[in-house]
Amino acid sequence: MKNTVFTGAATAIITPFRNGQIDYEAFARLINWQVEQGIDAIVVCGTTGEASTLTDEEHREAIRFAVETVNGRVPVIAGTGSNDTAYAIELTQYACEVGADAILLVTPYYNKATQKGLIASFTAVADVSTKPIILYNVPSRTGCNILPATAAALAEHPNIVAIKEASGNISQIAELASLVRGKMDIYSGNDDQIVPILSLGGKGVISVLSNLMPAETSQICHKFLSGDVKGSADLQLELLPLVNALFCEVNPIPVKAAMAAMGYGENSLRLPLTPMESAHEEMLLALMREQNLI
């Protein structure tokens, strides 16, 4: 069995902005609060971190900054995936050099790939990585789906240890779980499917919700894993309206509004993303007030 990167909840952390630039003061406060609240890991420069519109310099600096700020308290997982495998290799090598604990590799987007191409691309990155790799399957955003048999083939690589499953297809994830037992950990990539994926042997979640509620999101996982299945399910269902509000517009538009309301950066995104529609924002903020977040 390969080593597990983390068990529980990892926050797919936002990249706070101020005046169009990364707000490192807010970023440090957010990272430290996450750790203090008991989050199990931090994912930097993922989808929620707006990695696709960070410059190369910003992407590298955000990874380095997160590693230094966390300072070994929890694992830091660096998003280094790209539709250009050569660039993904460069970013992965950099993340390894500056001390990231693991790598998150999204499937190629726009140009996409065949299943054969996915195996070749992920293998090329895994071959040069000195840190464990978590694959990231989110076909709704990339147009590219890692099929269970493909994931099982990739699980044979010693550096590929896990997959973040955000396909939303529980039947596919069940098939995946049946093929990779003992060879690849599975994390939910959707906050509304944490308990179902844990029930299939999943290790936890890479979460958007945990930006706002790190302790509670971690509790959903740890309650389940300690045998309190009902308590875990009850907590997930209690938070479902908030989860739905966080995805009523494309991520990370709603969570950026939420975190700005909590004092972590401005409610600003980089084009083509724009701030949340006012009616949706009012609904989100009302749900946050119900949870005493603001």
Residue 239 domain flag? no
CB 258 within 8 A of CB 275: no
Per-residue pLDDT tens digits for 10-56? 999 999 999 999 999 999 999 999 999 999 999 999 999 999 999 99
> Residue 156's pLDDT is what?
97
DSSP string, the chain: -PPPS-SEEEEE----EETTEE-HHHHHHHHHHHHHTT-SEEEESSTTTTGGGS-HHHHHHHHHHHHHHHTTSS-EEEE---SSHHHHHHHHHHHHHTT-SEEEEEPP-SS---HHHHHHHHHHHHHH-SS-EEEEE-HHHHS----HHHHHHHTTSTTEEEEEE-S--HHHHHHHHHHHTTT-EEEESSGGGHHHHHHTT--EEEESGGGT-HHHHHHHHHHHHTT-HHHHHHHHHHTHHHHHHHTSSSTTHHHHHHHHHTTSS-S---TT--PPPHHHHHHHHHHHHHTT--
Any domain includes 249: no
Domain that holds residue 220: 8-226
Crossing angle for the helix pair 278-290 and 253-261, to the nearest 10 degrees: 50
Q: What pLDDT, on a 0 to 100 scale, did the predictor assign at position 268? A: 95
pLDDT tens-digit profile of 88-121?
A: 999 999 999 999 999 999 999 999 999 999 999 9
Q: Are strands 185-188 and 160-165 parallel, antiparallel or unpaired?
A: parallel
- Is the pLDDT at 77 greater than 90? The verdict is yes
What CATH number does the domain containing 70 carry?
A: 3.20.20.70
- 44 located within any domain: yes
254 within some domain: no
Torsion angle of alpha carbons 252, 216, 242, 144, nearest 10°?
40
State the Cα–Cα distance between residues 146 and 290, nearest whole angstrom.
38
Say how many domains are in the chain: 1
Mean pLDDT for the stretch of residues 140-163: 97
CA 223 to CA 199: how far, in whole Å?
12
Query: Is residue 264, in this structure, part of any structural domain at all?
Result: no
In a domain, 90, yes or no: yes
Q: Is the pLDDT of residue 2 over 90?
A: no
Active-site positions? 136, 164
Predicted confidence band of residue 182 (pLDDT cuts 50, 70, 90): confident
Residue 1: predicted pLDDT? 67
Q: Is residue 237 part of a domain?
A: no
Average pLDDT in the chain: 97
Q: 10: closest CA among 229, 146, 266, 191?
A: 191
Is 268 a domain residue? Answer: no
